Structures are given as C-alpha cells and as structure tokens.
Amino acid sequence: MTTERVERPLLESLAPLVCFAASLGIPIVGGVAILGLLQIPRFFYDWTLLTVAEVGSLLALPVLLFLLRYCLQLPGAPQGSYRSVLDFLAMRRWHPALIAALIGLLVLPGVWFFRVDKDLIFLLRILGWPRALKSGDFRDDLDRVTTLYQLALMGGIPLLFSLHMLSRWQPKRPFLVWLLVPVLFVGTAVAVVVLGTIAHFANN
C-alpha cells in the first residue's frame, strides 16, 4: 500500500513530461519509418545501416505509442486542444471515420498497384519466393509498391490529422467527418501525384 501511494503521484506528476517527450518522439520516429520505407523489401535480401535504422524506428514506434496511451490515462495528463493532438498520436479515442480512413490508406494503394501492375504476383508465382528475391524485376516491383505506400502515407497522414482535429472541434456534427473521408482519399491521390512528380524531377 505504501509503495502504491508513493509511486502513483510520481507517475501522475511525470505524465505531462512523458506526454511531451512522446509527442516529439512519435512524429520523429514515424517520419524516419516512412522515409525509410524503401528499406522494408531489403529486409529479405540486402541489410544495410539504413535497414537497421528502419527496423529500429519500427520497433520504437509501438513502444512510444503504448507509453503515450498509458500516460494519457493518468489524471495528470494534458487537456484541451493539446490533448486532442496527443490522442491522434496515440491513436486513442479516434472518430470511427478516421479508423475507416486509415484502413483505406493502408489497403487502397496496394489494391490499385496490383490491379495496374500484375508482374509482382506473376513473378512470385512462376519463380517462388526465394528465386523471386534474386530477380531484379521482382525487386523493382517491390520498390514501386513500397514507394506508392510511402507517398500515400506522406500525403494522407497530415489530412488524417486535419480530419481528427475537425472531429474534435465539431463533436455535434459526426456525419461531417464521414462526408469528408472521400475528400481525404482524393487529396491523398493528388498528394501522391505531386510528391511523385517532385521526387522524379529531383532525381533527374
């Protein structure tokens, strides 16, 4: 009983500091994970320092997320608009429309890619997984689908955050958030084209 009485106020008093540290750490680690997304296919055939950094960021991200979620449950956690930002970073108390939009961001790029470019599945079928990884064409296809996800997340996450804040500012209009989900997908598609074009000209 004595230990609980000492530890609980300490955790509550540290909650704002931990929340602030996690609010900085999650975007930084998440940014590294997205920028290094091209390293994911290399997990299977070519480990480098960048691949190690990507693995580290992917392991650190859920740790920071669950730490933030725990701190937000303590009485000393921040409130107000700052709390809404922290809830977004912790993926906590999201509007159902945001969850649907996130699922769409994770599913639609892959569906679109495999409908347009079927070489990846074709090569996998005829070569099998070990031999396919040795194929330059298969690796190029993996890079293309990974790049598509990278661009979709870079364009879609800021829009997802805007939709989250709108859901907090307009709590009495829940259907407004649902109506804007298609706008988020259109905006993400536009962002993919713009970012892809910028990246193309930057590499030439």
On whether both 64 and 164 belong to a single domain, the answer is no
pLDDT at 43: 82
On whether both 110 and 195 belong to a single domain, the answer is yes
- Return d(Cα 149, Cα 42) in angstroms, integer: 15
On whether both 204 and 120 belong to a single domain, the answer is yes
Q: Which residues contact 44 (CB under 8 A, 6 or more apart)?
A: 133
- Greatest pairwise CA separation for the chain in angstroms: 66
Of 203, 202, 166, whose CA–CA distance to 184 is shortest? 166
pLDDT at 8: 57
Domain boundary among 73, 93, 113: 93
In one letter, which amino acid is 17? L
On whether both 106 and 46 belong to a single domain, the answer is no
On whether both 89 and 105 belong to a single domain, the answer is no
On whether both 77 and 106 belong to a single domain, the answer is no
Domain limits for position 150: 94-204
Structure token digits, residue 20 = 């602030």
Domain boundary among 93, 126, 142: 93
pLDDT at 6: 46
Domain boundary among 49, 72, 93: 93
Run means of pLDDT, 10 residues per run, the chain, 204 residues: 51 78 92 90 81 91 92 84 93 94 93 81 76 78 90 95 94 88 95 89 76
- Return d(Cα 61, Cα 22) in angstroms, integer: 10
On whether both 35 and 124 belong to a single domain, the answer is no
On whether both 173 and 99 belong to a single domain, the answer is yes
pLDDT at 10: 64
On whether both 99 and 198 belong to a single domain, the answer is yes
- Return d(Cα 93, Cα 165) in angstroms, integer: 12
On whether both 40 and 67 belong to a single domain, the answer is yes
Q: Say if pTM beats, i.e. exceeds, 0.75.
A: yes
- Return d(Cα 28, Cα 23) in angstroms, integer: 9
